[in-house]
Structure 1
Amino acid sequence: MSAVADEPAGDTGEKSHDRSTAAADRLLRVFARFVAIGYLCYFALLVPEILEVSALVARWWTPTAAVLMFGSGVALGFASFRGTVWMQRTATVNALAYVVMVALWFVAWNGTQIPQDQSLWFTAFPGLASLAAAVAWRPRRAFVHMILVVLLAQCANHLVRDAPFGYFLAPDLAFAFVFCTVFLAAAVVGLGTGRTLDETIAVTQATAAAAASAEARNAERARFDALVHDRVMSTLLAVSRNAPRESLVEQAERAVAELDELRRGTDRESALDAAAVVARLRSAATEADEDVVFTGRVAPGSGDVAFPPEPARATAAALAEAVRNSVRHAGKDASRTVEVDVAPRWISVQVVDDGRGFEPEAVDPHRLGLEVSIRGRMRRVSGGPGGRAVRAGGRDPGVVVLAGSGRMNTANSTVSDLLRMHSRPARAFAVLYAVTCVVLALNTAPHAEVRWPLAIAVIVCVAAAYALVAVEGDPLPVRPALAMTFSGAIASASVLWVVPADPAPHPIELWPFGMSTTILVFMCVRGRTAYAWCGMLLMLVVAALWSHLTGPGMDYGLGLTITSAGPVLMGTVCAYTIRPLARSIYLLRARSMQRIAAESAAAAALEERDVRLGSLDASARPLLERIVSGEPLDENERIECGLVEARLRDGLRAPVLQVPEVDRAAATARRRGVEIVMLDDHAMDSASPEVRRAVYREVVDALDSVREGSVTVRVLPTTRAAMVTMLVKGEDVRRIEIGHDGRRTGN
C-alpha cells in the first residue's frame, strides 16, 4: 500500500512543498487507511449479529446505522488519497455518526431484551470511531469522544440485557475504557511524534550542521596540528639547532609537499584494501626507523573490505610518531618491532621497544609529541561513528597503539520509537492494564468454582504487558514473542476452567480474551504478526474446546470470541503499513541529517584549511622553501626558524593566547633571549571579549618587562580560583595571578 499520495495545493488550499516527506501528513494518511480497514474487518465479522439484533429496533435504524458507521469509515480510506481536508472531514463524519446513531438507538429500541451473555454489535468497536476522531481532531477532543461513546455503548448494552442495569456495569466500563484508551493513546502518540519530527526538523538540521561544522573544524585543526608538529616544527627546530643539512632538505621537501597536497585537496584518497593499509603502515614505520622489524597480518575475510582512508592515514601518522619517539628516547641500543593486524572492522598496531620505558599517564599533557601526534590522532579515529582507539604504555613496551573503525549505524529508529512504546507513559499504561486485569478478576471471582486460576490469568496477562513495553528490539525478540503467543491461551484457559457454561457467562467474565487481544495487536506492531495469529488461533481453540466440553458446542465458544480477531486483523494491517512508514520517516530524516552534516562539515573543513594554510604560508613556508633550495642558511635565518617554531608551538599549546599583540610581544622578548612557555588549560574558553583583552594586556606587559630570563604563562583549568597565572623570572621572580574578571588577584 502506498504510504503517500501527493495532491496539488489547489485542491486543499494547503502548502504542498513538503507533502512527500512531512511525517505528520504521511502518518495521518496511513492511520486513516488503518481505521478504514478496521471497519471492513469488523463489518465482515459482525454481519450475523447485525442481522440478529435488527429486530430489537425500528426498521430504519439498522440500515441507517450500518451505512453511516461502516460506510463513512470505509470512505475515510478513500479520502486519504484526496488530501488532508477531505480526510479530516470524512473522519469527522464518522466520529459524529457513531455518537448520533448510538444515541438514536435509545429512541429506536422497541423494549425487547437479549440474554446477558450477548452484546449489541456496535459495542464491539467504539474505539475505532475514536481513532477516526483522532484523525480529525486534537487529542483532547478525541479522548472526550472516546469517553462519550464508551458510556453510550455500555449503557445501551446494559439496558437491553435481561439483567439489572448495574450488573457488571463497572467492570464492563473499566474494560472498555482501558481497551479503547490503549489504542487511542498509541494513535495520538504516533501522530504527535510525526508532528514533532516535522516541527523540529529545521532546528535539528541546524544543530546537526553546527555540530558537524564544529567537529570538522576540530578535526582539521587536529590534523594541521599534527602536520605542523611532525613536519614543520621539527624541521625548523632542527635548523635552529644546526642539524645536518642533507637530512633537513629531505624533511623540508616532505613538509612542503604535504602542504601542497592539502591546498590541492589531493590528500583525500579513496578507500583502501587491507593490503594497502598494511603497506601504508609499513612505509610509515620504516620511514621513521629503517631498522624496525615490521610484521603485518591480514585476518581472513578482510581481503574484500574497503577501509576508510582517514583512519588508516591517522593511524599511520601516529605510528610514525611513536617510532620516532622510541628512536629519540628509548636509547641507542634499543631495538623496535611493529606488529600490525588488520581485520574487517578494526586495525591494531603495536609498537614495542626494549629500551627505557615510560608511563603515558605521567607525561605532561602539554608535551606535543604524545598529546598531538599520537593521542590527538587516535581521538580523531575514536571520535568517528563506530570507531574506537586505546592507547597504553609501560616500562616493558615503549608504546602500544590500538586503533579501529566501525560502520555507522543510521536510521535505526523503528515503529516502537514512533509510538514511544518504551517510554514512561507506556509503562504507566502497562500499570493501568495490570490494575484493570485485577479488577476484572475480582469481579469474576464470585462466580468462579475455584479462584486461584484467576490469579494465574492475571499474572500471565500482566507479565505479557510488561514484556511488551520493557523488552527492546525490533522486531520483538523471539523468546518474549513466543511467551506472549501462549499467554492469551493460558490466561483464557485458566478462567474458562473455573467459569461454568451454564448459566452462560457474562461477556466480561471472558476478559482474558479481550485483554490478551491487546497484547497480540501490539505484537503485530512490533513485527511478530505470525506469532500474534498463532496466539489468536490458540485462544479460539481454547474457547471452542471449552464450549464443546461443557455442552453448548464449539460454535457457541467461537461466537463469543471471534470478534477478538478484528483488532488482530487491524494489527496485521499496521505491520504492513505503519512499520515500513516508520522506517521510511526515520530513514529520510537520518539521510537529511547526514547530507546536511556532510555539506556543513566539508565547508567548515575547507574554510579551516584555508585559514591554517594561509597562516603557514605567511610564517613557515618561506623558510621551508629556503631550506629546500639547499643553500646554507645564515645565523639570522636560523634564529628566525627558531622564532617561527616557537610561535607555532605556542599555537599548539595555548591557542587562546594567539592574538597579534601577544605574538609581537613574545617574538620581541625571544629575540632578547627570553625563554617563553605558554600553556592553555581552557579557563579562558568562555571568557568575554572584554576579559580576554584585559588578560592580553597583562601578558604583553609581563613579556615587555623582562630583559632576560623566562616567562611562563598558563591559562588554568576552569575549576581553579584564578584564571591565568604568570611566572616571571628576570631581575627578580614574580608570580602574577589574574582572576576570572580579568583583573590581577595577587603578585
Structure 2
Amino acid sequence: MAGNVTVDRTIVRAVTVFAMLNLLVTLNNTPSRSWMYPAGLGALGCVLLTLSVLASLRDCFRPVPTWRGIRVLTYISLGLMAAHCLTVRDLSPRDYPPLLHACGVIILTAAAAFPLPTGCVLMGTYAVGFFFVRLQSLTVGQALTECLVLLVSGATGLLLVALVRRTVSIVSTRSDLTQQEARATARALAQARERARWDGLVHDKILGALRNAAAGDSRRQASNAQTLAREALAAFRADTHSDAPTALARKLEQVADALGLECEIDIKQDQISSEVLDVLEAAAVEALTNVARHAGTPRVSVRAVIGQAAALLIISDRGRGFESQAPGQRAGLKTMKARMEAIGGQLDVRSTIGAGTAVTLSWSHEQPSWLTVLWDVRVFAPMIAIGAVDVILNVGLGLTRPARLFIPWLNPVLAAVVIGFNIAIAVCPRRPRLGWMLAACCVPLPAVSVLNLVTYGDAGWRYWAAGALTPAVGALSFRFRSSLGVSCCVASLLVLMVSEAILGRTSWAPVLGPFPVSLGVALVGGMLRRGLDGATAALSCENVRLAEQVRQAAGIAERNAEISRRRTALALDILPMLELIAGQGPLSVSEATECRLLEAAARDNLVAATLVNDAIAASARAARGRGAEVVFRCADNAQPHAGLRIFRSLVEQICATIGAGSSARFVWNGSGRDFIGTAVVLGHEASAIRAVVESVAHSGLLTVTCDEDSVLIQMRTH
C-alpha cells in the first residue's frame, strides 16, 4: 500500500506489537491444552506464528516499511483458522482453543495492512470461522455475541487506520492550498514592507536632505544635507538593504554625535534578521532626530535587547514632551509606525508635557503556524461509535451471564460508572492532570467487578469491566500520552491479580483475559498518535520551508518593483535636486526655495497618500510658490471613498485660488462616521472660495460655514 511513510511504519509496528502480546499468551497456554488439537498441530501453529512475528518484527526497523511479514502472518493465521474448523471437536463452553485467540487478533489487526475492502473481507472470513468453532460449545446467541465483540474490536482498528490515512491526506491537500495562499499573502506583505521601507527612506534621507539644504545656515547643516543626499541617491542606484547585520550601538553613537546629543547607550545585540535590524535602526535614528529637534534637552537614553526571536528598543528623554494626541499628526512617527508594522512589530510613544518622551520599539518573531489536526469528537465520531458498541457488548456480557453476587445492585451501578468514564475520557479537555485523575479512577473498577463475584466464572465474562474499559485506555493513550494508557492498564492488571489472590483464586488468570488486548490498544493508540503527529509535522515543516522560499522570492520581486516605481516618481524633480545638494555646498536663495517646495511635496505624499494625487501635488506646489501655506493630513485608517473624487476637485480648485498670506488645511478621513473630509481656508479670498465651493456642491455632500476671512467646508458621509 502506498501512503505516508511515517503512518505506514506506525501501522506495521502496531500490528507487530499486537501479534507479539497475544502470541506470548498463546505460547503459555498451548502446552497445557494441546489435547484440543490433532497430534502436532498446536506445536506447528506456534512455530509458524513465531517465525512470522519475527519476520514482521524485522520489517519494523526498515527505513521504508514493507508489508511482507504482516501478510505472511495473516495468511498463516487464516490457514490455522481453517484447521480449527476442520479438526477441533467436542469442546465444553470453558474450553477455548489457544491458537484461536492469537489467530483472531492477528487477522483483525493485520486487516489494516490491506486495502479497506480486502480488510473487511478478512474480518468477515474470520468471523464466520470463529462462529462455527464456538458454536460447538455455545448456543447460537452466545456464539454470535462473542463473534460480534471481536468484530467490533477489529473494525475499531481498521477504521482508525483508515481515518489516520484520510486525515494525513487532508493535511497534505491543505498544505498545497496553503502554498497557493502563501504566494498571494507573501507578495502583499512584501509590497507593504517595501512601501514602508521606502517611505522611511523618503522621510529620513530625502526630507532631511531638502530641509537641511533649504536652511543651510551653518556648515553642519550643509554637511548633513550632503550626507543625506548621497545616501538617498545610493538607495536609488542600488538596493540599500544590507544582508549583514551591523552593530546598532556604533551606528546610533555616530548619529547622536552628529546631532549634538549626549546619548547613554546600553544595547545587548545578538544575531537578527538584517531586514528587522534595518527597520529598528531607521526608527531609532528618527527618534534621536526628533529628540534633537523638539525635546529641548541634549540628554537621551537608548536601551535595547535584540535577539533572533525578539527585540525591544527604548529611546527616552527628559525634555519638554508633547500632548498624547500629537504623534498621530507627525509624519516621522507615522512613518516609524508603518515600518514597524510592516515587519510585524509595534511602536509605542508615551509623552507627558514637561516630563519627557519614551519611544518603545518592539518586535517578536512569529513562529510558523503548524498544520494541526483537531482531535475532537466530530472528527472521530465513527471511532467513538465503535468504541461505544464495544462498551455496550462487554457490559451486556457481564450483566446477562448468570452469576452469584455479594451485592446484586453493584454490577448495574458499576456498568454505569464504566460507561461514564469512557465518555469522560473521550470528550474531556486535554489537560495532563485531568488525564491522570481519570486514569487513577479507572484502575480499581475491574477489581470491583471481580470482588463482587461469589462463584468462579470463566474469564470471558468475569473480566467484563476490563473489556469495557478498553476504549477508555486507548483514548487515554491517543488523546493524552501513551504512557498514561499503558500505566492505567498495567496498574489495573496488578490490582486485579491481587484481588484474585485475596479470594484464593488463580492470580495469573487476568493475564490471559482481555488485558493483552487492552495493553495492545494502549500501545497502538499512542503509536498512532505519534505517527499521525509526525506525518503532520513533516508536512508542516515542508510547508514552512516552501513558504519561506515564496516569501523571499516575493520580497525580491517587490523590492525591485518598488525601486522602479520610486525612481520613476521622483526622477523628474527631486533626484536632480539631490544630485545638486550632494555635489556642492550651500545653495542659492532660489535653490533653497525650490528645496522647501520639494520637501513640502514629498511630505504631502507621506502624510496624505490617499488624498494627494499628481494634480493636487502640482496645485499645492503652485500655491506655495505664490506664498500660500498648504497642509494635508490623512487619518491613519483613511480609506478611499465614493466622495474622494469630489473632494479632490475641491482641493485642487482651492489651491489654484489662494495666494500670498492665505492658508489652507485639508483633512481626509475616509472612514469617519460623520464627515469624511474637511477643508479650512483662512485669507482674503473667502468670497472666491465660496464660488469654488458652489461649483462642486452639486452632489449635496458639502456643508459650508464662512465669515469675512475664513471658510470651513465639510463633506458628509452621505
Structure 2 residue corresponding to 1:115, chosen from 55, 77, 93: 93
Q: Which residue in the other structure is 2:333 paired with?
A: 370
Q: Please state if 1:379 is matched with 2:344.
A: no
The within-5 A match list for 1:625-640 is 625-640=579-594
Contact 2:370 2:540 in 1 (8 A): yes
The equivalent of 2:196 in structure 1 is: 222
Alpha-carbon deviations, 1:526-556, whole Å to 9, x = none? 7944555444432332333333333441332
**Equivalence for 1:26:** 5
CA contact (8 A) 2:390 2:468 kept: no
Q: Is the 1:484–1:519 contact (alpha carbons within 8 Å) kept by the matching residues of 2?
A: no
Which stretch of structure 1 is more off in the superposition, 551-560 or 148-157? 148-157
1:162 to 138, 146, 154: 138
Find the aligned partners of 1:80 and 1:191 in 2 and give their Cα distance: 21
Matches for 1:305-704 after TM superposition, within 5 Å: 305-330=270-295, 332=296, 334=297, 336-342=299-305, 346-360=310-324, 362-363=325-326, 365-373=328-336, 375-380=337-342, 383=344, 390-395=348-353, 397-407=355-365, 409-410=367-368, 417-418=372-373, 420-422=374-376, 424-426=378-380, 444=398, 449-450=406-407, 451=410, 457-458=418-419, 460-467=421-428, 470-471=429-430, 477=432, 479=433, 482-483=436-437, 486=440, 488-500=442-454, 502-504=456-458, 506-507=460-461, 510-514=463-467, 516-521=469-474, 528-564=481-517, 565-571=519-525, 574=528, 580-657=534-611, 659-673=613-627, 675-681=629-635, 698=649, 702=653
- 1:197 equivalent in structure 2: 171
Q: CA 1:682–1:286 in structure 2 vs 1: closer, same or farther (change >3 Å)?
A: closer
What SS class does the counterpart of residue 657 from structure 2 fall into? coil
Distance 1:588 1:222 in 2: 30
Tell me the distance in 1 between the aligned counterparts of 2:80 and 2:210. Answer: 91
Q: Aligned equivalents of 1:296 and 1:392: distance in 2?
A: 20
The aligned amino acid for 1:604 is E
Structure possessing the higher radius of gyration over alpha carbons: 2
Measure how far apart 1:338 and its partner are.
Answer: 0.8
Cα deviations across residues 417-439 of structure 1 (Å, max 9, x unaligned)?
45x42464348966985797588
Deviation at 1:314, TM superposition (A): 2.9
Q: Does 1:732 align with 2:678?
A: no
Deviation string for 1:487-520 (max 9, x for gaps)?
553333333333456133543x534434544455
Give the 5 Å matches for 1:35-434.
36-37=15-16, 40-41=19-20, 44-45=23-24, 47-48=26-27, 112=90, 114-115=92-93, 121=101, 123-124=104-105, 127-133=108-114, 136-137=115-116, 159=135, 162=138, 165=141, 169=145, 173=148, 177=152, 179=153, 183-240=157-214, 243-244=217-218, 246-260=220-234, 263-265=237-239, 267-271=241-245, 276-292=247-263, 294-296=264-266, 298=268, 305-330=270-295, 332=296, 334=297, 336-342=299-305, 346-360=310-324, 362-363=325-326, 365-373=328-336, 375-380=337-342, 383=344, 390-395=348-353, 397-407=355-365, 409-410=367-368, 417-418=372-373, 420-422=374-376, 424-426=378-380
Letter in 2 for 1:356: R
What's the CA shift for 1:456? 5.2
What is the rounded CA distance, in whole Å, between the counterparts of 2:121 and 2:639 in structure 1?
56
Determine the structure 1 residue equivalent to 2:657. 706
CA offset digits 1:455-479 (Å, max 9, x no partner) = 5555555444445xx326xxxx5x4
Q: CA separation in 2, counterparts of 1:487 and 1:249?
A: 80
RMSD of Structure 2 on Structure 1 (CA): 5.3
Q: TM-score, normalised by structure 2?
A: 0.75
Partner SS for 1:392: strand
Say whether the 8 Å CA contact 2:259–2:289 is kept in structure 1: yes
Mapped contact 2:299–2:318 kept (Cα < 8 A): yes
* Bigger Cα displacement from structure 2, 487-496 vs 204-213: 487-496
Q: Hey, what's the Cα distance between the residues in 2 that align with 1:282 and 1:501? A: 91
**SS across alignment from 1:599:** helix
Alignment-mate amino acid for residue 471 of structure 1: R
Q: Is the 8 A contact 1:347 1:402 kept in 2?
A: no
Query: In the alignment, residue 236 of structure 1 is paired with which amino acid?
Result: L
Contact 1:259 1:613 in 2 (8 A): no
CA shift for structure 1 position 153: 8.1
Structure 1, gaps ≥5 residues long: 1-11, 13-18
Q: Which residue of 1 aligns with 2:709?
A: none
Contact 2:425 2:438 in 1 (8 A): yes
Cα offsets for 1:659-689 (capped at 9, x unmatched): 54454444445444554444445898677xx
Count of paired positions = 682
Check conservation: 1:285, 1:338, Cα contact below 8 A.
Answer: no
Partner of 2:716: none
Alpha-carbon distance between aligned partners in 1 of 2:392 and 2:180, rounded to the nearest angstrom: 49
Counterpart code for 1:545:
V
Q: How many angstroms apart in 1 are the aligned matches of 2:554 and 2:318?
A: 46
Residues 567 and 116 of structure 1, relative CA distance in 2, 3 Å threshold: same
CA contact (8 A) 2:473 2:489 kept: yes
| 1:197/1:392 CA distance change after superposition, 3 Å | same
SS in 2 for 1:358: coil
**TM-score, structure 1 as length reference:** 0.73
Contact 2:470 2:521 in 1 (8 A): yes
After TM superposition, give the deviation of residue 591 of structure 1 in Å. 1.8
2:507 maps to a residue whose letter is M
Q: Could you tell me how far 1:560 is from its partner in structure 2? A: 1.0
Secondary structure, counterpart of 1:115 in structure 2? coil
Q: Deviations over 1:242-285 (max 9, x none)?
A: 6546413323313422541574445414346xxx4444444444
Give the equivalent residue in structure 1 for 2:714.
Answer: none
